[in-house]
Structure 1
Amino acid sequence: MLIPANRLLDAARIEFARLLPLLADSGIDGSAAQSVAHALGLMQAREAGGVAHVRRQFRQLAQTLDGLGELIDATETRRVIAQAQDMEELAGLEAQWTAALASAQRAVQNANAADVPADQRLALLQTLVDWETADRQAQIGNSVGAIDENATEITREKLTAYLRDRFDDPSLVVTDLHPISGGFGKQTTIFAVEGQSLSGEYVIRRDIGENAGLDTSCHLIHREYPVIRAAFEQGFPAPEALWLDTDHPLLPGGHFIVMRKAGGKVAGNFFGAQSAIPDDLADILADKMAQLHAIEPLRELGDLTDTIRTELWDLPLRDCVERYIRNWYDFYLCEQHTPSPALVALYGWLLDNIPDSSGTPRLIHGDIGFHNFLIENGQMTALVDWEFAHIGDPAEELGYVNVTVGPSLDWQRFMARYQAAGGKYVSPETLRFYGVWAYARNASGANILSTRLISGLADDLKLAILPYLHVPPFLQGAKALIEAELAA
């Protein structure tokens, strides 16, 4: 699969527009920032228009010549235009276009040398200036040098206005604001504010846009919010979510929640930790996982999503897991996606090999790993990003951790600590199964999100890396675990 160049360029232009205000020379005429912006515009317009754009240029030149009547002799230019009608290659058409321009220029030179009345010479000039101006401007498309006032980017000014309106407090001022890179399902922005009604550091977590994100589990922010609140109220170190906003004309864009900023920083990504995990930190992770899995059914969440429903708390564990995997499989097949025979084969294996686990369904975070918990002074301060939260088998969480940070852990010691904190024993076979599922589910999400970039439903440039840097190791990781299971 190749992502179309016009989609990459379109997303690159949007991303660069976001960066322009941060560049020191962004407002200087002829600056490097301005040069890159216009180069992206030219490439995007050329890629998007292609042959059709050049043919349109020929038509508009012909119409302009028709409007000039007898002011110039355009016989040669019309012959060059006619020769281009049968051309299909872009390079050949562009060469013919240059020839047409050269011919038209010679015709004007001849008119300049002729004895033409002043009013006709002025009409010729006006017509040609208007035509050529429009032609050149069409080649660069809309400028990315200026950001639309109605753009969805969060700025200090917009956020200050929003907070003043929300709290009816004109003293509120946003003193710092910066987006957080990383993550593919949400936009995250950290800001600091001073005022009577609100003061300190906070986090905005926002849907990436209408129809752009995944619509399963808790991927939409209005579904994630009650789960975060419920876990926090149970004493679990989830973020302190302060409010949800789905009606925010002063901050156009996706719906969002505002949370109090927790201390610490992310220490790795899905594929592993950035360094070996100290035993004391591994103990904290084991304890917190056991604490999460000990939370009694949160029936107050009601029928929040397809995977958080009242009846799921009382299902046999195997049935609950099968419903979750089938839900994802159906979601993948129904959503716009890039066909993947390998991924469908993985779903077939998973549905044939669901383990018969003992116990009862519990709330699962679904994405525990170094990429989603914050560390400060050797302690975990918060488990963030609950978009994969669902009701399921606690062993799924352990299988996920095993393939993300497992190589950085003394796994036997970790499991002993988890069990000592109240967690259940999980067999190696069950761990491998849920490791395969972790890879398959993340490959599904990556496939769908990257396809939305291709189709134009999403414009987040980082989605372009998913098919190439993420999906292959997901698929290979799942295959290796299945082969290990067969060899066991």
Structure 2
Amino acid sequence: MNINSNENYLSLVITALDELIAPEVNSAAAKTAVEMMKTTLNELRKREADAPVVIKTCIVEGRKVLVDMLLCAGEAQPIFKEIGNELHFDCLLLEYQQLTSQLHAVSETLRAEHSGDQVAGLLRRVAEWELSYYTNTAALKVAEAPKFENPRQPLTKSALQDFINSLDEHIGAPVQLDKFESLMGGFGKQTFLCSYKKPDGRTRELVVRKSDPMPIMLHGSCLLDNEHALLCALPEDYPAPKPLAYAAQWQNVDGDFYIMDRSAGEVPGAFLHGMNKEMPEEVFLDLAEMLGQLHSVPLNTFSDYAEKYDAPNILQGTVADSYRANLAGWAGYIQEQEHLPSPYLIWLMNWLETNLPEDTRTPVLVHGDFNIHNVLVNEGRISAILDWECAGFGATEQDLAYIRPHISQHIEWTKFLNHYLAHGGREPDEAMMNYGMVYAALRTNLAGNKATFNLQQGRNRDLRYSMVELGFTPSFMNLALNSAKG
């Protein structure tokens, strides 16, 4: 996969400083620091672009000055090493610094031991030479960040308020939002929090889940309407978000969204970095219980959903049939959508297709991203399972393999597994665990590829997506390769 350039990363950081950090900065010292950071980062951008040419030219000119100064001082002529086509700034910088030291030494000699107009002229010439680098680099222009023109607008407080007031329950009794803020979080969707006062004076908090204006995945439950329909199909008593209303092409907003009541609790950790703090054992047993309950939901619960959003016969086939259909879908998606070249993805698809076990069990609904970063914990217990965009039908082992590394860091895996089995889970087939883990990596690696492609094309300038290459992509590549050894 093509790697992001230094220029791309630097311009992303500057964009974040401008759009996210600077507006939140209050003190004069902090504002000054932000401006100095931007100046420094733009200097680094120049060093990744045209500054090497400037410093190389300075070296060539500085050598000419040194020759003339040594002639005047009556000293031996230097032998310079060939610069050639070298344009790496740090290598040229080392040569420049050595040349500066030589010019400094001969300038001291000339000043101490010689005099006259020639010496004065040479000393001025070397002073002008030293200034030239700064003058010429200051004149360099940094490239504008690539832009992708989107004719539609981000979700605003007023647009969201208009949508809420268009719902039946608010006709004739409009509400006014008193809070609307973006929440940092996952990479596949945008999330917002809003609130308003109800007629009885109590505050109602809503969460908005919205498509990114440049989605990183356009297949399966990663599509927002697909995810919304799946959440609506889940049993009412399952602890998942309950959508209240879906906004399709609302006003001029740059992506569909749906709203739901905010669930109590906080996310206890991140996939790559683990738990934010110690959690009681009950949290991990709740995970086992909820995963067991999910895997025991009767397949006919999803008949209408599968008819509209999946292959209708996927619920009548086997686990092996599910994965064959899923892989065919992903292969078609890869052909249809533009991605960065990746030999790794070719290997991954080939391994999944050639190593698919002939599993004759019936499939279950698989969450696909069931882990500590996608749950809410309230007062020491799990209150909700979040982010269903990786869900699909397949083997229970896909979820179990995915969560086992994290669970094993906190409680014994056998204890988790027994609790899972006691709440409707299916006895795992160890032979399917590796396959489940490799398959789980497919969607994340495809999404990461597309996210990096969007950054490189200027379709997205969100700093969060730099974390794909700097964390998620290598982690999931490694996960799949290690699991495929077995």
Q: TM-score, normalised by structure 2?
A: 0.70
Q: Which residue of 2 aligns with 1:131?
A: none
Q: Does structure 2 conserve the Cα–Cα contact (< 8 Å) formed by 1:367 and 1:386?
A: yes
Q: Distance in 1 between matches of 2:464 and 2:367?
A: 24
Deviation of the 1:165 alpha carbon: 5.3
Deviation of the 1:442 alpha carbon: 1.9
Q: Which residue of 1 aligns with 2:475?
A: 473
**Alpha-carbon distance change, 279 to 192 in structure 1, aligned in 2, over 3 angstroms:** same
Deviation of the 1:246 alpha carbon: 1.2
Alignment of 1:101-116 (within 5 A): none
| Residue 175 (structure 2) aligned to one of 148, 172, 177 | 172
Q: Distance in 2 between matches of 1:48 and 1:482?
A: 38
* Post-superposition CA distance 1:224-281 (Å, at most 9, x none): 11111111x442111021111013226x221111111001111122246416664322
Q: Which blocks of at least 5 consecutive residues in structure 1 are unaligned?
A: 55-88, 92-135
Alignment of 1:389-468 (within 5 A): 389-468=391-470
Q: Distance in 1 between matches of 2:196 and 2:271?
A: 32
Q: Distance in 1 between matches of 2:22 and 2:175?
A: 23
* Post-superposition CA distance 1:92-127 (Å, at most 9, x none): xxxxxxxxxxxxxxxxxxxxxxxxxxxxxxxxxxxx
**Alpha-carbon distance change, 203 to 14 in structure 1, aligned in 2, over 3 angstroms:** farther
* Post-superposition CA distance 1:411-461 (Å, at most 9, x none): 111111222222211122211221222234322221222122112232222
Matched, 1:215 2:257: no
Q: Which residue of 2 aligns with 1:270?
A: 271
Q: Which blocks of at least 5 consecutive residues in structure 2 are unaligned?
A: 55-86, 90-138
**Alpha-carbon distance change, 263 to 370 in structure 1, aligned in 2, over 3 angstroms:** same
Q: Distance in 2 between matches of 1:310 and 1:40?
A: 57
Alignment of 1:278-297 (within 5 A): 278-297=280-299
Q: Which residue of 1 aligns with 2:35?
A: 35
Q: Does structure 2 conserve the Cα–Cα contact (< 8 Å) formed by 1:290 and 1:422?
A: yes
SS at match of 1:265: coil
SS at match of 2:180: strand
SS at match of 1:443: helix
Q: Distance in 1 between matches of 2:380 and 2:478?
A: 33
One-letter amino acid of the counterpart of residue 346, structure 1:
L
Deviation of the 1:18 alpha carbon: 3.7
One-letter amino acid of the counterpart of residue 180, structure 1:
L
Q: Distance in 1 between matches of 2:368 and 2:437?
A: 12
Q: Does structure 1 conserve the Cα–Cα contact (< 8 Å) formed by 2:208 and 2:259?
A: yes
Q: Does structure 2 conserve the Cα–Cα contact (< 8 Å) formed by 1:364 and 1:392?
A: yes
One-letter amino acid of the counterpart of residue 207, structure 1:
S
Q: Distance in 2 between matches of 1:153 and 1:40?
A: 30
One-letter amino acid of the counterpart of residue 3, structure 1:
N
* Post-superposition CA distance 1:347-371 (Å, at most 9, x none): 3222222223342122222111001
SS at match of 2:220: coil
Q: Distance in 1 between matches of 2:16 and 2:160?
A: 20
**Alpha-carbon distance change, 458 to 404 in structure 1, aligned in 2, over 3 angstroms:** farther
Q: Which residue of 1 aligns with 2:304?
A: 300
| Residue 204 (structure 1) aligned to one of 192, 200, 208 | 208
Q: CA RMSD in A?
A: 3.9
Q: Which residue of 1 aligns with 2:356?
A: 354
Q: Distance in 2 between matches of 1:266 and 1:480?
A: 28
Q: Does structure 2 conserve the Cα–Cα contact (< 8 Å) formed by 1:169 and 1:196?
A: no
* Post-superposition CA distance 1:181-225 (Å, at most 9, x none): 121101111122124499511111111114x33101211211111
One-letter amino acid of the counterpart of residue 35, structure 2:
S
SS at match of 1:192: strand
SS at match of 1:189: strand
Q: Distance in 1 between matches of 2:171 and 2:49?
A: 49
Q: Does structure 2 conserve the Cα–Cα contact (< 8 Å) formed by 1:50 and 1:90?
A: no
Alignment of 1:50-449 (within 5 A): 152-164=153-165, 167-168=170-171, 172-196=175-199, 199-210=203-214, 212-231=215-234, 233-249=235-251, 252-271=253-272, 273-274=274-275, 278-297=280-299, 298-305=302-309, 308-332=310-334, 334-449=336-451
**Alpha-carbon distance change, 286 to 155 in structure 1, aligned in 2, over 3 angstroms:** same
Q: Does structure 2 conserve the Cα–Cα contact (< 8 Å) formed by 1:160 and 1:172?
A: yes
Which moved further from structure 2: 271-280 or 472-481?
271-280
Q: Distance in 2 between matches of 1:90 and 1:273?
A: 38
One-letter amino acid of the counterpart of residue 268, structure 2:
A
**Alpha-carbon distance change, 417 to 357 in structure 1, aligned in 2, over 3 angstroms:** farther
SS at match of 2:468: helix
SS at match of 1:239: coil
**Alpha-carbon distance change, 247 to 341 in structure 1, aligned in 2, over 3 angstroms:** closer
Q: Distance in 1 between matches of 2:152 and 2:211?
A: 15
Q: TM-score, normalised by structure 1?
A: 0.70
SS at match of 1:371: helix
* Post-superposition CA distance 1:365-410 (Å, at most 9, x none): 2111001111112211111111112122222221222244444331
